């Protein structure tokens, strides 16, 4: 279900609102919900629910929540150790952006970011948006392994690697917080609609 034509906070808030409404309604036949920037992908069992019936229910939920004030987002503080062995690319980012290392850290830690969606690997949260002065492209060649907890930037987003995995984002720091845990009831620490504040250590 598309809820906007461009990446924007208002469109994303509508996505999160519909996501929560679908979760609360426990719509019969729905197998999984996949929120993105401005859409919600709904996977369903066609033996249990029809496309037309499900679409009608979704439109009903959109209409019924249209004038409902969104709930206050949860704010999660993430402590980060910037630079050195924790942030391999920090110095290069500073050079590309023509900033000091201290300015890069201050700029990165100054906004409150929105969790737009989880993807790539379990628990990997796409956080936006990065200050314009810090926008840098991905690495030309992805690394074979980026440790869990690595805080990285690419284009207009920042993210935290939830597990050790190959990756091409520029790593500027690391957190000891565990973003994904298969043994935890809520597998991912972050969820769409949450807000994130980075705290330099």
* Residue 167 burial class via C-beta count within 10 angstroms: exposed 0-12, middle 13-18, buried 19 and up: buried
Domain boundaries, the chain: 9-65, 75-200
Could you tell me if 93 and 104 are in contact, meaning their C-beta atoms sit under 8 angstroms apart? yes
Confidence of residue 153 (pLDDT cuts 50, 70, 90): very high
The H-or-E segment that residue 54 falls in is: helix 51-65
Instruction: Please state, rounded to an integer, the average pLDDT across all residues of the chain.
Output: 89
CATH superfamily to which 75-200 belongs = Cyclophilin-like (2.40.100.10)
Kindly state the tokens that stand for 114: 């929105």
Contacts of 113 (CB under 8 A, 6+ apart): 127, 128, 129, 158, 195, 196, 197, 198
Name the more confident of 46 and 168. 168
Nearest to 198 by CA among 147, 100, 99, 131: 131
The whole-model pTM stands at: 0.81
Asked whether the domain spanning 75-200 has the same topology as the one spanning 9-65, the reply is no
What tens digit of pLDDT does each residue of 165-197 get? Answer: 999 999 999 999 999 998 888 889 999 889 999
What tens digit of pLDDT does each residue of 58-104 get? Answer: 888 878 877 777 678 899 999 999 999 999 999 999 999 999 999 99
Given this structure, which CATH class describes domain 9-65?
Answer: alpha beta
Name the more confident of 138 and 120. 138
Task: Give the start-end residues of each E strand in the chain.
Answer: 30-35, 40-44, 75-82, 113-118, 125-128, 143-146, 150-154, 157-160, 165-167, 170-174, 195-200
**Angle of the 90-97 helix axis to the 101-109 helix axis, nearest 10:** 90
């Amino acid at each position: 279900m598309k809820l906007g034509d461009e990446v924007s906070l208002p469109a994303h808030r509508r996505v999160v609102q519909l996501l929560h409404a679908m979760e609360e309604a426990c719509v019969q036949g729905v197998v999984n919900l996949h929120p993105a920037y401005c859409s919600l992908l709904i996977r369903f069992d066609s033996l249990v629910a029809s496309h037309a019936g499900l679409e009608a229910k979704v439109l009903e939920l959109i209409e019924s929540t249209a004038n409902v004030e969104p709930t206050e987002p949860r704010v999660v503080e993430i402590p980060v150790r910037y630079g050195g062995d924790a942030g391999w690319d920090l110095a290069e980012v500073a050079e590309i952006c023509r900033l000091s290392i201290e300015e890069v850290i201050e700029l990165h830690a100054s906004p409150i970011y929105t969790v737009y969606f989880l993807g790539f690997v379990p628990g990997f949260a796409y956080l936006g948006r990065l200050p314009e002065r810090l926008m840098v492209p991905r690495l030309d060649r992805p690394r074979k392994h980026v440790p869990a907890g690595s805080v990285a930037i690419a284009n207009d987003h920042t993210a935290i690697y939830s597990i050790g995995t190959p990756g091409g984002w520029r790593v500027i720091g690391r957190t000891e917080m565990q973003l994904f845990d298969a043994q935890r009831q809520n597998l991912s620490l972050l969820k769409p609609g949450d807000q994130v504040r980075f705290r330099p250590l």
